[in-house]
A and B are shown apart, each in its own frame.
Chain A
Amino acid sequence: MARKSGKPKAKTEEQPESPEPGHEARGTPGFEIVAREDFSDVTFLLEVRHPAMAKAARPGQFVIVITHEHGERIPLTIADFDRDRGTVTLVIQAVGKTTKEMQQICRVGTALHGVVGPMGLPSHIGDAKKVICVGGGLGVAPVYPQARAFKEGGAYVIGVVGFRNKDLVFWEDKFRACCDELIICSDDGSVGIKGLVTKGIEAAIDKHPDIDEVVAIGPPVMMKACAEATRPHDIKTMVSLNPIMVDGTGMCGGCRVKVGGKVMFACVDGPDFDGHDVDFDDLMNRLRRFVSEEKRAMEKWQENCKRLNQEPYTPDTVAERGGSGSAAAGTGRPS
Chain B
Amino acid sequence: MPKKTIRTIPQNRAPMPVQDPAERVENFAEVALGFGLEDALIECARCLDCPAPACVDGCPVGIDIPAFIMKIIDKDYHGAYEILSEANLLPAICGRVCPQEDQCEGVCPVGDTLEPVAIGRLERWVGDEAIEKGWSNVPYVEPNGFKIGIIGSGPAGMACAADMAKAGCDVTIYEALHEPGGVLRYGIPEFRLPNDVVDAEIANILKLGVKIECNTLVGRLFTIEQMRNEMGFDAVFIGTGAGYPKFMGIPGESLNGVLSANELLTRCNLMNAGKFPNYDTPLDLGRRVSVIGSGNTAMDAMRVSLRLGAEKVYCVYRRTRDESPARLEELHHAEEEGIEFHWLTAPVEILDDGEGNVRAMRCLRMELGEPDDSGRRRPIPIEGSEYEFETDMVVYAIGTNANPILGQTSNIKLNKWGYIETDENLASSLAGVFAGGDIVTGAATVILAMGAGRKAARSMKAYLGIRDTAAVYLSERSGSEGTLFGIPAAERNFARIRLA
Report whether chain A binds chain B.
yes
Docked CA distance A118–B174 (Å): 15
Question: In the bound complex, do residue A250 and residue B243 qualify as a contact, i.e. CB atoms below 8 Å apart?
Answer: yes
Which listed segment binds B: A186-194, A207-215, A286-294?
A: A286-294
B99 CB–A CB distance under 8 Å: no
The binding surface of chain B is classed by DSSP as loop
Question: In the bound complex, do residue B214 and residue A73 qualify as a contact, i.e. CB atoms below 8 Å apart?
Answer: no
Which listed segment binds A: B101-109, B216-224, B362-370, B481-489?
A: B216-224
A221 CB–B CB distance under 8 Å: no
A6 CB–B CB distance under 8 Å: no
Which listed segment binds B: A20-28, A175-183, A231-239, A317-325?
A: A20-28
Number of B residues, CB within 8 Å of A: 56
A113 CB–B CB distance under 8 Å: yes
Residues facing B in A232-258 (CB within 8 A) are 246-254, 256, 258
A residues less than 8 Å from B263 (CB atoms): 246, 252-254
B residues less than 8 Å from A294 (CB atoms): 282
- Choose one: B178, B356, B408; the contact of A116 (CB below 8 Å): B178
Taking the closest CB of chain A, its distance from the CB of B117, in whole angstroms, is 37
Docked CA distance A97–B254 (Å): 25
B247 CB–A CB distance under 8 Å: yes
A residues less than 8 Å from B339 (CB atoms): none
Question: In the bound complex, do residue A21 and residue B221 qualify as a contact, i.e. CB atoms below 8 Å apart?
Answer: yes
B residues less than 8 Å from A258 (CB atoms): 254
Which listed segment binds B: A38-46, A64-72, A160-168?
A: A64-72
Task: Assess A71 versus B216: contact at CB under 8 Å? Given A250-B244, A256-B254.
Answer: no
Docked CA distance A127–B162 (Å): 48
User: Given A252-B260, A253-B259, A301-B277, 5 more contacts at CB 8 Å?
Assistant: A67-B280, A70-B280, A246-B271, A249-B177, A269-B404
A residues less than 8 Å from B213 (CB atoms): 21, 23-25
| Residue of B180, B256, B260, B277 with highest tally of chain A CB at under 10 A | B277
Closest to B256 in A: A289
Taking the closest CB of chain A, its distance from the CB of B414, in whole angstroms, is 14
A226 CB–B CB distance under 8 Å: no
B417 CB–A CB distance under 8 Å: no
Question: In the bound complex, do residue B221 and residue A56 qualify as a contact, i.e. CB atoms below 8 Å apart?
Answer: yes
A residues less than 8 Å from B176 (CB atoms): 116, 247, 249
Taking the closest CB of chain A, its distance from the CB of B173, in whole angstroms, is 8
Question: In the bound complex, do residue B404 and residue A250 qualify as a contact, i.e. CB atoms below 8 Å apart?
Answer: yes
Docked CA distance A207–B206 (Å): 63
B residues less than 8 Å from A293 (CB atoms): 276-277, 282-284
A residues less than 8 Å from B226 (CB atoms): 19
Taking the closest CB of chain B, its distance from the CB of A290, in whole angstroms, is 5
Question: In the bound complex, do residue A117 and residue B259 qualify as a contact, i.e. CB atoms below 8 Å apart?
Answer: no
Docked CA distance A49–B121 (Å): 48
Taking the closest CB of chain B, its distance from the CB of A14, in whole angstroms, is 9
19 contacting pairs across A/B (C-beta < 8 A): A16-B230, A24-B212, A25-B175, A70-B279, A70-B280, A98-B280, A115-B215, A116-B177, A116-B178, A117-B221, A246-B267, A252-B262, A285-B254, A286-B254, A290-B282, A293-B282, A296-B277, A297-B276, A297-B282
Question: In the bound complex, do residue B216 and residue A66 qualify as a contact, i.e. CB atoms below 8 Å apart?
Answer: no
Residues facing A in B208-259 (CB within 8 A) are 211-217, 220-222, 226, 230-232, 243-245, 247, 249, 253-256, 259
B278 CB–A CB distance under 8 Å: yes
A residues less than 8 Å from B256 (CB atoms): 285-286, 288-289
Question: In the bound complex, do residue A66 and residue B178 qualify as a contact, i.e. CB atoms below 8 Å apart?
Answer: yes
Closest to B260 in A: A253
- Choose one: B266, B284, B403; the contact of A290 (CB below 8 Å): B284
User: Residues 40-66 of chain A: 1 if any B CB is under 8 Å from the residue's CB, otherwise 0?
Assistant: 000000000000110010000100001
Docked CA distance A251–B152 (Å): 13
Question: In the bound complex, do residue A250 and residue B405 qualify as a contact, i.e. CB atoms below 8 Å apart?
Answer: yes
Question: In the bound complex, do residue A268 and residue B215 qualify as a contact, i.e. CB atoms below 8 Å apart?
Answer: no
Question: In the bound complex, do residue B253 and residue A251 qualify as a contact, i.e. CB atoms below 8 Å apart?
Answer: no
B residues less than 8 Å from A66 (CB atoms): 178
Question: In the bound complex, do residue B221 and residue A118 qualify as a contact, i.e. CB atoms below 8 Å apart?
Answer: yes
Docked CA distance A268–B404 (Å): 7
A121 CB–B CB distance under 8 Å: yes
Top-3 shortest CB links A-B: A293-B282, A252-B263, A25-B212
A144 CB–B CB distance under 8 Å: no
Docked CA distance A297–B206 (Å): 37
Taking the closest CB of chain B, its distance from the CB of A329, in whole angstroms, is 27
A residues less than 8 Å from B232 (CB atoms): 18
